[in-house]
Structures are given as structure tokens and as C-alpha cells.
Structure 1
Amino acid sequence: MGYHFSRDDVGYLSSSAGRAALATVDDLALTSASLLQDLEQVRRANGDRAAALVETVRLRRRAAAKLAAASEWLFTDDALQQATPTAVARHRAVRLAGRNVHDVTCSIGADLVELARVCPAVVGSDLDEVRLAIAAHNLGQRRFPVGEPSTSGTGAPVRNVLLAKADALRPCSSDTVIVADPARRSEGRRTHDPAKLQPPLPDLLATYPDRDLAVKCAPGLDFDRLDWPGEIEVVSLDGAVREACLWSRGLTESGVTRRATVLSSTGAAWTLTDAEPDSIDERTPGEWIIDPDGAVVRAGLVRHYAAKHGLWQLDPRIAYLTGDHLPAGIRGFRIIDRLDYREKTLRAELRRNDCGPLEILVRGVEVDPDRLRRTLKPAGSRPLTLVITRIGRTPTAFLCTAMDSRTR
């Protein structure tokens, strides 16, 4: 559990004195080894403000890889964990460009900043006054912080965002697209049950039956049980699946119910929908094995991805694809040999191929990669990949070399 910030803390941290103190604290290491000593040094200089200062600097460092303005923003631990990465928030905002939007669970404003760039008017509301005060700071506004007003955060104040304390389940705006990000923790544990989100997803949908909606959800949600009438978009960033977003019919393209969007911090992005063809061949394994991006797998678009790139499946129930070429911009595995899944056979082949560093990928079979690696004991110098899956009912292993088509 992190430090519990108060509105007074937010007011102080937003003030010129707080900003100066934060700059001084940022010069300290604040590592696990030095934390107690650093905290005592900060306490001698700043008294009761020490914990808030140290926690803020540590949160900013954690946020640096996730949020573009992390070095100037304020956070709480829980809010940072749930905050949408900047690249993902920006992607969603672009889909809403030109619309007036109300984020009914705005928290610390990570989505508001991106919405404000492309939407003429934005409302952000939340029941947590501390998070609203933080959002005001992060937007460069003066409305919610107490104490000396702030003009830091994002720099110049964001003028087209109105912040308000309001319950997401009690409508307080009209003619706006509703954006929501229900908290995915129940009784201190992460949950994939829509009814246990905060606010509960069924209640949220019932509150806005005739409004355009974009609702951020966990990618682990059981989409088949959800029976959502619009589009479900699964988004990944730099290879990691980040979220699913439920888009109501008024915000989708005709005929699209599933979408996979693959983002990269380098700026490259692509998308795939279930409106595209999904007819693929049934053939023996080709030269390459491809493990599709997790967004494609979670969105149920493996066959669509295969059809788009001239690939086919190793097995119709397994997400591994195969083909005679490696699509541009992805990592794949060139097959050296196909083997029966028997440890004695695998050990002999690894030795024969001078295998040293060994990557083990598994789908469709019960195998612990770490335990298997210890059992096989590769001792050579050549880095190889072992892809273990099943074809039909037969566990099968492919010995491969990994290659990234972006570096070829």
C-alpha cells in the first residue's frame, strides 16, 4: 500500500515550495538500500511533508515508461496502476476526435489530457476529491487544488476540460460520449467479473442505455459471456496486451464487432477487424512459426491475421501460425527440425545443434518451461527456441532459430 495523499498534500505539492522540494528530493537515489536514510534526510528538511515528497518522486519514476508527462504529474499508487498509458489513451482519443466527451471515472486525468487535444469539450468527473485535485494539477488547472494555485502539470492550463465531483452512475451531462474506466479490483484483488468492477459494468451500461459509450475493461474479460452488441477492441503496446475497450454501435464501423490494435512506442501501429477475410488453408507446417500479437489472440482474430499475411494454423485450435515467409515488423521462428515431444529426444537434438541459451514457448500442452529447461540442461553456445504445442492430439516440438523481421 502506498502513501495516502490528502487534498492538502496535493495543494502543497502543486505550490512553488512543493515543486522546489520535489526537485531536491529527485536528486536522491531513493533505492531500497538507501530509502530509510534518504527519507530521514528529507524529513529533516521538510518535516511532515517528507512522506508525500518521497512517494511522489518514486511514483514519477515508476510512471516514466507509461506516461509522457510523468516528470511533472502527481499520482497515487492505485491511480498510477490503473492509469492508461499515454500511447493507448491517445489512440482512444483519436477515435473520439471532434466529439464532446464526458469521462465519468476520470481519476488523475491520464485520459482527459489526450481527449482535450482532439475533442472540443471534455468533462471529467470522479467521486474521489483527492484524485480530482490531482487531475486539476495534471491538467494545469486551478480549480481543485487547495493552497497556492498550480500552473505546472502539463504546462499551460487545459482550457476545454471541466472537472466535477460526480457519481458515474448518476448522469450529469448530456450530448456527450461517455467514457469510463471501472476499477478492476474487488476486496483488494484484481477481478475479471464485470459485476464486481467499480462501478459494476452492468450498472454502468444500464445507466447510459441510449448514449454512445467507450468503456475500458481488462483484456482478461470473458468477451463471449459479455454479449456486447457493439465492438470489442483489444489493444496491445510494445507486445503487451494493455486493455479491452467496449465501443457502442454509434462509435463503430459497420460490420465490425472485434478489433485488434497493435501499438508501439516507436509510433508504428496497425489494426485488424473481424470484417476482414478469415479463410485460410490447411497445410503441413511451413518454414516459419509465428506467434501472433496478444491483441490478435485475445480478440479472436488469429485466422483473420493468418489470411491477411498468407499464413495458416499448425492446429485449428491453437494460436500458433505457420508459413513460408515472415511478415514484416514481427518476430518469428525459423524451423530447424520437428520433433516428438520426448525429453530424451529433445536433449539429444539440443546437444547436436550446440544449443546454449534456450527460449521455450508453449501453447496447448501442460509444460513448465523453467522446469523443462533445467531438465534439458543445454550447455552449448548457440541460442535456440523450442516451440512446444500439439497438432491434433499429439504433443509436438519444433526446434527453431528466432528472427525479428524488423532487423533483417
Structure 2
Amino acid sequence: MAYEFSIDDVDFLRSRYGTKALEVVADFTLTPESLLKEMPDLRARYGDRAAALVETVRTRRKAVGKLSDPERLLASDVALQQATASQVAAHRAADIAARRPGAVVHDVTCSIGSELMALATADGIGGVIGSDIDPVRLAMADHNLRVTDTAAPWLLARADALAPMSTADVVIADPARRNARGRTFKLEELDPPLLELMAVYAGRELVVKCAPGLDYRLLRDRFGFEGQVQVVSLDGGVREACLWSEVTRPSRRATVLRSDCDDYEITSEDPDEIDGPGVGEWIVDPDGAVVRAGLVRHYAHRHGLRQLDPQIAYLTGDSVPAGERGFRVIDQLGVSEKVLRGALAAHDCGSLEILVRGLDVDPDRLRKRLKLKGSKSLTLIMTRIGRAGTAFLCEPGVRV
């Protein structure tokens, strides 16, 4: 069960004594196993504050790679899970600054302030307001902003997201995507509910961060959403579907952010003419943001690729776009286990990555049934071309 911070905890952690205590606790191992021996010592030193210190240090460790300078931040484990990654937030802040230079931006569900920190440090943002109904998270946000080298002036207030309390140029919201049953993708089960949020801020520039599984087509067709849908990924993982209420063109945008190479974007206004289906030397699996935004053909056009099948997102061609993972085709096969087992034995395969799209196949169960005994590592891509199941035996994937 996650530790529940109190305002007193936050006040202690922000104090000079709490800051020193955090430095001491950071030298402990703090694994579930080590805590059995470490916790008595920590309780003897810090009493009732020991649990808050441990949770803070462990959360900071989890935040490495997600939030900038996590060793100075305050966050609970649950708040960290919900927080926007710094790289994603920074890209959005730059977007807003480019569209609305000097804008005042209000995050009405600011939580611990991950979005606020990016906004307050971005060039071109005129001011930042953060509000949240949770006083503990608001106190954490106050600390996190104070230890950040902010450029724009900022203000925090306790307020309900459905009760507007500013006239900011741009409003940002991130409805909670969990309820008592776990993660939810239903529009009416978000907190605050998405449709209520959009109604309250109708006529204002509203940016809403939603789960990547959001059915944005339903939002358009049934509820008349006319803005832009931006699907964002970071280092291969799709992070969110972002709704921009006052941005109508392009209607869809895939934003691919990467730590080790250049970012890129594909939009619905890019050309999408490509050659007919076929099989080239390489198979390319487009980034998830491109697939979820329905921009596979647009991406293929940009890189001179084509689809294996018009209804399947796998692409193929004679080269692999920079930064993407490609699979060099060795053989094209049927999908019966007898055929696959024979081909894998012939290629001396002992380790197999199985990728599936368009077929009802469980990769783990299939791998066990194939009884691999060879020495080589290979990749098997299983998909559908027309109505026929088809498998491609490939060299292990490489990132170009």
C-alpha cells in the first residue's frame, strides 16, 4: 500500500532538518529486503517521519529518467506515476510558447507540478498558474517550483478544476485515469469527467492530456470535438493523447520524442500516397504514436516505404528510417506450427522474438510449442496479408 503523505510530512521534508535527513536516507539501500534491517535504525533516528523519508527517496529513484533533477523534488509514488515526463512537458510548453507568445498558462490539475516546471522554465511563456484540489500535492508543487530555476512568474492556488478561477490564455488539464477498479479509458469515468471539463472551458483554449487509448474518433463523431488530437510517444512508449480544443489544423498529429536521436512529427496534412502492397528487404514497425494517430501512410510516404497490407501497420522497404528499428527479411512462411518449426530448425534458431499484428496468436505460448533447439537469435513477424496469415522470418531487429 502506497504511503499517504500529510501536510506535516511535506513541511518536515522541506525544512533544513528534513533536507539533511533525506541526504542521510539516500545512502541506504531501501529495497524491500533491506528495509527489514534498515527500518528500525531509521525509526530510531527519525521517529514517525521515517516512512515519509523512505518513500521520498524511493520515489526520487523511480523518477530518474522521467523527471528532471528528481533528487530535489517531492512526490508520492502515485503522483509520480501520474506525472507527465519532463521531456513531454517541455515539448508541450514550447508548442504553447510558439503558438501564443507571452501566454499565461493555467494547469488546473497541477498535482506535484511536473507540467508547471516545464512551463515556468520555457522561453516565451508569460506566466504560470497551478491549481489542484489536493493540498498535499499542491504543497509538493510549491516546493518543486521553488527548487527549479524558473523564468516565468508563477502562482499556486487550491481550487476545483471544474470551477474556473483565472482568465489565463491557455488552460491545461490532466484528468485522473484511475478509479477504484483501476485504469479506465471511459470518458465519463475520468476525474474530472472529460466532457464536463470541456463544457466548463468551452470557448477557451484548452489542452487536455488523456490516456493514449482514448477513442478520439468517438469523441469527434458522438460529441462533436473539432480540435486537434496529438498522440505523443517517448523513447518508443506511447505516453498520451493530447486534445487541443482551439487547434483545428492539422486534425491529427503524431509527436515522437526520443532521448538518443532527433524528434519528429507526422501530421494528417502530410501527403499519404504510397506504392501498392509488397515485401521489401526490411520490415519496419512504425512508432506507436504514428499508429495510434492513424498516420501510418503519411509516415510511409515520408520515408519511401509501403505497407505489407493496407489494413496492417507494418511497413516495408529497402531501407530503415534513422532511429527506427528494422527487421531484415530472411524468409516468408505460412503460419502453421509445422511450417514454422521446420523453418526455424533449418535456420538453427534457438532464441526467438515473436511480433504479432492482425492475428490471434499468443507469442509466449507459441514459442513454447515451437521447441527451439538451435544457437541463433531470430525474429518472427506474424501478420495478415489479405485474408491469409503470413509469417516473416527475420534477422534480429536493429536500430538504424
Using structure 1 for the length normalisation, give the TM-score: 0.93
Shift of 1:403: 4.1
Q: Percent identity?
A: 57
Displacement of 1:38 in angstroms is 1.3
2:162 aligns to what? 169
Q: What's the secondary structure of 2:396's corresponding residue?
A: strand
With normalisation by structure 2, the TM-score equals 0.95
Answer with 32-41 or 390-399: which moved more: 32-41
Conserved? CA contact 1:331–1:402, under 8 Å: no
Please give the alpha-carbon distance, in whole angstroms, between the structure 2 residues aligned to 1:306 and 1:355: 31
Could you say if the C-alpha distance between residues 132 and 369 of structure 1 is closer, same or farther in structure 2, counting changes exceeding 3 Å? same
Q: Which residue of 1 aligns with 2:3?
A: 3
Tell me what 2:270 maps to: 276
Aligned pair in 2 of structure 1 residues 368, 318: CA closer, same or farther (>3 Å)?
A: same
In 1, the alpha carbon distance for the partners of 2:154 and 2:64 equals: 24
CA contact (8 A) 2:109 2:131 kept: yes
Task: Say yes or no: does 1:215 pair with 2:219.
Answer: no
The CA RMSD measured in Å over matched residues stands at 1.3
Q: What amino acid maps onto 1:130 in structure 2?
A: V
What corresponds to 1:362 in structure 2?
Answer: 356
State the match for 2:290 in structure 1.
296
- Mapped to 2, the partners of 1:101 and 1:311 lie a distance apart of 40
1:6-21 → structure 2 map (5 Å cutoff): 6-21=6-21
**Shift of residue 255, structure 1, vs aligned partner:** 3.2
Query: Of 130, 135, 138, which aligns to 1:132?
Result: 138
1:354 is displaced (CA, Å) by 1.3
Task: Check 1:234–1:367 CA distance in 2 against 1; reply closer, same or farther (3 A cut).
Answer: same
Partner of 1:238: 235
Aligned partner of 1:202 in structure 2 is 195
In 2, Cα distance between the equivalents of 1:289 and 1:157? 45
Q: Deviations over 1:313-344 (max 9, x none)?
A: 11111111111222222111111110011111
Q: What secondary structure is seen at the aligned counterpart in 2 of 1:220?
A: coil
Q: Flag structure 2 segments of 5+ consecutive residues without an equivalent.
A: none
Deviations 1:347-376 (A, max 9, x none): 111111111221100001111111111111
Equivalent residue, structure 2, for 1:385: 379
Is 1:121 the counterpart of 2:127 in the alignment?
yes
CA drift at 1:188: 4.3
Q: CA deviation at 1:158?
A: 6.6
SS of the aligned residue for 1:272 comes to strand
Instruction: Indicate the residue corresponding to 1:48 in structure 2.
Output: 48
- Give, in whole Å, the separation in 1 of the partners of 2:202 and 2:395: 52
2:109 corresponds to 1:105: yes
Amino acid at match of 2:111: S
Change (3 A) 1:317 1:347: same
Cα distance in 1, alignment partners of residues 395 and 257 from structure 2: 26
Please tell me whether the aligned partners of residues 254 and 295 of structure 2 are also in contact (alpha carbons under 8 angstroms).
yes
Structure 1 18/175 Cα, relative in aligned 2: closer, same or farther at 3 Å?
closer
Separation of aligned partners in 2, 1:184 and 1:332: 33
* Counterpart position of 1:264: 258
1:28 is aligned to 2:28: yes
Say if 2:170 and 2:205, in contact at 8 Å, map to a contact too.
yes
- Determine the C-alpha separation between the residues in 1 that align with 2:300 and 2:150: 46
Number of residue pairs matched?
A: 390
User: Which residue of structure 1 lines up, in the alignment, with residue 176 of structure 2?
Assistant: 183
Q: Contact 1:75/1:134 (CA < 8 Å) preserved in 2?
A: yes
Q: Deviations over 1:200-226 (max 9, x none)?
A: 000000001110111100000111101
Residue deviations 1:83-140, cap 9 Å, x none? Answer: 0001001011101113210000000000000001221111000011101100000011
4+ residue runs over 6 A deviation: none
Please tell me the residue identity of whatever aligns with 1:324: D
User: What is the CA–CA distance in structure 1 between the aligned matches of 2:388 and 2:242, rounded to whole Å?
Assistant: 37
Question: Does the Cα contact within 8 Å between 2:379 and 2:397 map onto a contact in 1?
Answer: no
What SS does the aligned partner of 1:2 have? coil
Alpha-carbon contact 1:329-1:404 (below 8 Å) kept = no
**Structure 1 residue 402, shift from structure 2 partner:** 3.0
Per-residue CA distance 1:232-259 (angstroms, 9 max, x = gap): 000100100011100122xx3x630100
- The residue identity in structure 1 corresponding to 2:235 is D
- 2:326 corresponds to which of 298, 323, 332: 332
Aligned AA (2:295):
L
Contact preservation (8 Å) 2:320, 2:326: yes
| Range with greater deviation from structure 2 (289-298 or 318-327) | 318-327
Is the 1:236–1:294 contact (alpha carbons within 8 Å) kept by the matching residues of 2? yes
Give yes or no for contact 2:277–2:310 (8 Å, CA) kept in 1.
no
The yes-or-no answer on 1:248 pairing with 2:245 is: yes
Partner of 2:226: 229
Task: Answer yes or no: is the 8 Å Cα contact 1:327–1:405 preserved in 2.
Answer: no
Deviation at 1:286, TM superposition (A): 1.3
Deviation at 1:404, TM superposition (A): 2.7
> What residue identity is the alignment partner of 1:178?
V
Q: Secondary structure at the match of 1:33?
A: coil
Which residue in 2 is equivalent to 1:150? none
CA distance in 1, matches of 2:398, 2:89: 27
Once the two structures are overlaid, the 10-residue window that deviates more, 92-101 or 358-367, is: 92-101
2: CA distance, partners of 1:71 / 1:47: 23
